Amino acid sequence: MRLSACTVFVAALAAVLASCGDGSSPSGAAAPAAGQRKGGFLASLPLQPVDGKVSFGSVSPCGPALERTVKVRNQSDAPVEVKAYASNCACVEAKLVGSKTFGPGEERELRLTLRPNGHGDRSVSVEFGGNGGMLGRVRVDYSLGEGVVALPAALEVHDDGREAVEDIEVLAGDMKEIRILRMDPEVGSLEVAGGVRCKAAVSMFEARRFAESPEGARHPGVRRDAAGRVTGLTVTFVTDHGECPDAKLDISFAR
């Protein structure tokens, strides 16, 4: 079963927040009135980015990871405690520095790491949740228009979807003709023909089997948790694009 990164994030964060409180408004924030615009609600939340949205501008999918540190402030007159926070895209990793409790007017640093994927203009949200629900959001924007990308760029596989074969499209964002040369690791099949868009078929069974194999234990694309359990695999599609040849697919194994 294919789920978007946004869908997975919303479900996970909602579950955490539901277990944290009774659904009342966040401490120090007014509840949104009926019919209030979404933008007004977001602006009323206690945690706000000091300098507004974060823009990385135009980035390359084959470039190095980009890092930036921004500040988040509690604009309310009451302390708030962050119970959970996450990005809705695997392309942005967020780490809150220091205590997760913000006093009135206090600021904390939020370290952002961008590993670009996707195509075109992208807008990613890092959201904070507390006892009463959502506490705030930091928006991260960037644009991808060159090199090659995999569509979709990320998949989450549950036990009931482990036998699935997913069709992946490899797209040249600058509209150059490309041909897929190989898949690393080889966990599916490639389309022989070339063009602006090429296709591959990735087997979720083969991906999981490889990730859990002795060979997978030495592969840099395999991800594990602190207990050593396999949590994901990054598959790289190598093309003959001259400037930016690699497209990546991030597979997460849900348990």
pLDDT over 90 for what percent of the chain?
56
pLDDT digits 0-9 by tens, 57-95: 988 877 788 999 999 999 999 999 999 999 988 789 999
Secondary-structure class of domain 5-144 per CATH: mainly beta
Name every residue whose Cβ is closer than 8 Å to that of residue 151 and which is 6 or more positions away in sequence.
Answer: 118, 119, 168, 169, 170, 171
CATH number of this structure's domain 148-253? 2.60.40
pLDDT digits 0-9 by tens, 19-37: 333 333 344 444 444 333 4
Please report the pLDDT score of residue 71 as a whole number.
97
Number of residues assigned to the chain: 255
Q: Mean of the per-residue pLDDT values for the chain?
A: 83
Distances (CA, A) of 23 to 66, 134, 182: 36, 10, 49
Q: What is the pTM of this model?
A: 0.59
Please report the pLDDT score of residue 22 as a whole number.
34
- Classified as helix, coil or strand, 23 is coil
pLDDT digits 0-9 by tens, 135-170: 999 999 998 877 888 889 889 898 776 789 999 999
Confidence of residue 46 (pLDDT cuts 50, 70, 90): very high
Closest CA to 247 of 131, 135, 168, 140: 168
Please report the pLDDT score of residue 118 as a whole number.
67
* Residues 187, 172: Cα–Cα separation, whole Å: 22
Query: Is 148-253 in the same CATH topology as 5-144?
Result: yes
Q: Where are the domains of the chain?
A: 5-144, 148-253
Confidence of residue 39 (pLDDT cuts 50, 70, 90): low
* Residues 203, 165: Cα–Cα separation, whole Å: 4
Name every residue whose Cβ is closer than 8 Å to that of residue 22 and which is 6 or more positions away in sequence.
Answer: 131, 132
Does position 211 have pLDDT exceeding 50, yes or no?
Answer: yes
